Amino acid sequence: MNSGYKMNSSDIPSRTLKAFSVNGEKNSIPVDSSSSTLADGDATFDSGFPPLTMTPIGAGGKPPKGKDMNGILYSVTLKQRWQDAGMGYPFDSAFSTVAGGYPKGAILPNSSLSGTWINTTESNNNNPEVSTATSTGWVPLSSYGQTVVTLSNVNYTMSTLQASRERIVLNGTLTANIYLYLPPWIKEWTVENNTSGNFYVTLITTQTGAAGYSSYPNEIVKVRCDGVNIFRNSTEPGRLISIKTYSTAGAYTYTPSRGTNSIEVEVIGGGGGGGGARATSSGYIAGGGGGGGGGYARGMLTTGFRSGVSVTVGAGGNGGVNTGASSSGGASTFGGLITASGGSGGSGSNEEQHAAGSTVQYAGGAGGIGSGGSYVNAAGGPGGSMLITVISNTIAGSGGSSFMSGGATPAQGNSSGVGGAYGAGGAGALSQSNPGSFFTGGRGGDGVVIIKEYS
């Protein structure tokens, strides 16, 4: 053959479809020779054809046996056919001992024939599949499927075969914080935590002094091991999963969607009610100031929410009726983590009579305050004051604005106050010169809680 011959992909040889002499007569070839095989001229793997078969018959020799030749070629081509079919051999302790261990770079199928191991050390006699999650010198090259384990209140050690798979699914009810031990490989896993209970699972290797990652229920996260420590893969960007909005006054329980690793929370308190206006006599005027807007807070959370959080949406304050006081808006809360207080109610007034050039004000309510937000903690807008100058030139107080809505527009003429929306304050009412009835201040808008979930 030309020494300059180059191998190309088009030169692929034909596959061995049948082992040599598969249907022919053949001897089973022993591994080691013995006195009887030497005396009979039988071929063995350690001696080949013995000297007797190479001695002239006239000098007492024996010819090689055709069945031995068939047996030898059958043994070789049987393995060739197995390899042509894409198969290898799983780890074998007896073979490893005789062979002096597996060489670095050896690739073996795993025992379930669903993946492969690659050897990273020379003369390796270790079984790649152990139950102790310790280093064996073998690491997974590929592995199909996922590993599902059920957890409770005891630590769990994964076998190397379990840990070889790319996805690990955790089920069960946790009644304590526990450890899940993994082999110290350079590897990534996707962990799907379907457990329930107000506890977490720390993913950690069996290496002494290793640092781990704490996985909480309802989390899907990709983690990475550097050969010692396990940590969340910081190069994995957060993806917006869902937006949950609570905009009707009441109490709720927030439960994160599967795969949520962080949340952004916005909280707006309820708006204060506007002041009311009594029925006035001819030539008199009465009215109210606007309610204050609810406070606002916004922040990002990565912990403290995974087992569910109580959510309260503050109700808008009621407007004043006749000469009765208006009420403040209720606080909106996300657990005890982020809070926005409601706006104060606007003041009402008795009937007034003023000459030209005189001015009287009835104050609007103060805005609520946000707290606990890592991004923003802001006050709602104050309610506008009712301003009395002359009967023909008077308006009630406007509602204070919230982060999501302008305040209610002020009443003019004989009318009740307009209600606020999304935490904005209600407007004050206005009564001018014997309208025949009293008027009610506008109701403040209910607060809002918005939660954006990220992977």
pLDDT band at residue 319 under the 50/70/90 scheme: very high
**Distances in whole angstroms, Cα of residue 261 to Cα of each of 210, 264, 306, 333:** 23, 11, 8, 21
Per-residue model confidence (pLDDT) at position 234: 65
pLDDT (average), residues 393-418: 89
Q: What is the pLDDT of residues 25-47, one digit of tens each?
A: 999 999 999 999 999 999 999 99
CA-wise closest residue to 370 among 298, 262, 276: 298
Tokens of 262: 């962080």
What CA–CA distance (Å, rounded) separates 146 from 220? 14
pLDDT of residue 352: 65
pLDDT of the residue at 356: 46
pLDDT of residue 1: 46
Q: What is the mean pLDDT of the chain?
A: 92
Give the DSSP letter string of 255-284: -PPTT--EEEEEEEPPPPPPP-BPPPPTT-
CA-nearest of 19, 14, 29, 11 to 81 is 19
Strand segments, DSSP code E, in 337-392 are 338-340, 360-362, 370-371, 376-378, 386-390
The strand pairing partners of 169, in sequence order, are 148, 192
Name the residue with tokens 């590897």: 187
**For position 243, what pLDDT does the model report?**
95
Average pLDDT of span 61-67: 96
pLDDT in tens, 110-159: 999 999 999 999 999 999 999 999 999 999 999 999 999 999 999 999 99
Numbers of helices and strands, H then E, in the chain = 4, 27
What pTM did the predictor assign?
Answer: 0.62
Q: pLDDT tens-digit profile of 237-272?
A: 578 889 999 999 999 999 998 778 899 999 999 999
Rounded CA gap, 399 and 58, in Å? 125
Distance between CA atoms of residues 437 and 281, nearest Å: 10
